[in-house]
Structure 1
Amino acid sequence: MKVPRLLTVGTAALLSCPLATACAAERPPAASTPAPPYGDATGTPEARTYTLDLSIPSSSPPAPRAWPRGSRAYRMQQALLPVFGSLRRQPWPAGVARFGDAVISVMGQTQVGARETEPPTCDRWAKGVWSDFASASGEGGGLIGMASLADARDSPFTGVFAAQAIVYAPADRLRELDRPPSDACETIKMSDTQRWWTADVTPVSVRLERAGDLTAYKLVDVAGDQATVWTALLRQGSYLMEIRFADLGAGAQDGPVPATFLGLVDAAATRARSILG
């Protein structure tokens, strides 16, 4: 695996890695003449390399706030899934923050999604629900917890990555988060800050016995170059949980819902229900 270079985004030094054999910073410059799609000059097919942007603070991120034991925020942090199969919680810690806290944007960089979107009003579906609360300081009492899981058995990133968010907010706010994308967000332009692609937001029919009814969709790159991102949203009382999942080994998926994704949602829902009620 190539050693990723440090990139500077704004004033923060970040390690930007697309969860593949080469990081975004290692991508070669565009060819001066057009090349045949997915092949060499003779048209011979070559294997695609699927990428997904992920930014990790180059230095140790701030430790999560130590919430009082038994408080709502403490229980939300405990409800975040620490492990699922070969997926393990990574060194960047899980944490819970009040709406509008600056740490939300830092934690959001470890979620599965785009760095930039067009139009920005589609951030919720392209980046994750956290993007609604990075500057939502006016929503008093609201909390969001986030965690990230990756398969790190052989190397830091083998291609399977998941992210979880739990939101505590008034019922009308949760209903807004749980709604399908508007017509304007059925197709979204997404970027990892180095290139843009277009993704269709496609609803997915999912029902799990223990998780119950949920809203699910997938982000599918129309060109087939980016790995499919699967997302599920589940309401539990005063909480909404989001699970985002991508498997670079499977590439662009337009078939059945991955079994690993279904199991992940079921396990996360079961743990959250047992702790949050």
Structure 2
Amino acid sequence: MNYSKQRTIAEECTLEGVGVHSGENASLTMKPSEVGGISFRRVDMDGSPEIPANLESVVGTDHGTSLGSGSATVLTVEHVMAALGVAGIDHVILELSGCELPILDGSFRSYLDAISEAGIVELDAPAEVVRVQKTLAVNVPTGASYVATPSENLRISATIDFEHPDIGRQFGSFDISEEVFRREIAPARTFGFHEDAEELRARGLAQGASLDNTIVLDANGVINDGLRFGDEFLRHKVGDLIGDLALIGGRLEGHIVSERPSHEGNIALARKLND
């Protein structure tokens, strides 16, 4: 992601689908912009209120990262933010009709493909770079922990640990570039456990989850027809981390080592890096 200039997309592109938590249909249109950063625009609401895609707008991290401004909110932004981040997009207007981003197939791939198909325009202004200057650590009470150290590029090393035997303890380390992300991370889908479905739906979550957009595990294993990677669960968590860190803005340079990353922890780390 060593793009020296700021960038936007060349043409509009639209993606449509259901929100994994809301269960509501939504349409997202990405529009080029040369200034203003990345911003969501709720075109289904009176006045089309805008929500800047930054850390100040974060209003929730329960099973996804949500942004809000006033009465307007946008749920589950991490997939599109990861794709925009690795593509080096600094300015774009994201017009959303609906309260939540489409989950599509549960991975990051469709968002990255749409950005690539729209094309990239390099702008005159130099890209902003956020560099990890010294070692720092972040821990959250729910168990996620992070250490960030200086590095010339963005590297993510992560470990996840689940009791389910089909997941267990998984570790991976990735030097993040658009090419590596496209090949190693983007196809990885979100996942959940069948035993949690009733409780999540009672809380208004997972209303749109299905085998078409979520890897579902029960006591016997993965219900879906196989995995895209043996460690697809880990890779998806790495993608979520990249998407949450993209809310910092600019190009992040550093080595992030994470144990049991979560959206809550990811945002806590992003805020620490942004201090």
Query: Which band: TM-score by shorter chain?
Result: under 0.3
Q: What TM-score do you get using the length of structure 1 for normalisation?
A: 0.25
Q: What TM-score do you get using the length of structure 2 for normalisation?
A: 0.26
Q: Which has the higher contact order (CA 8 A, sep 6+)?
A: 2
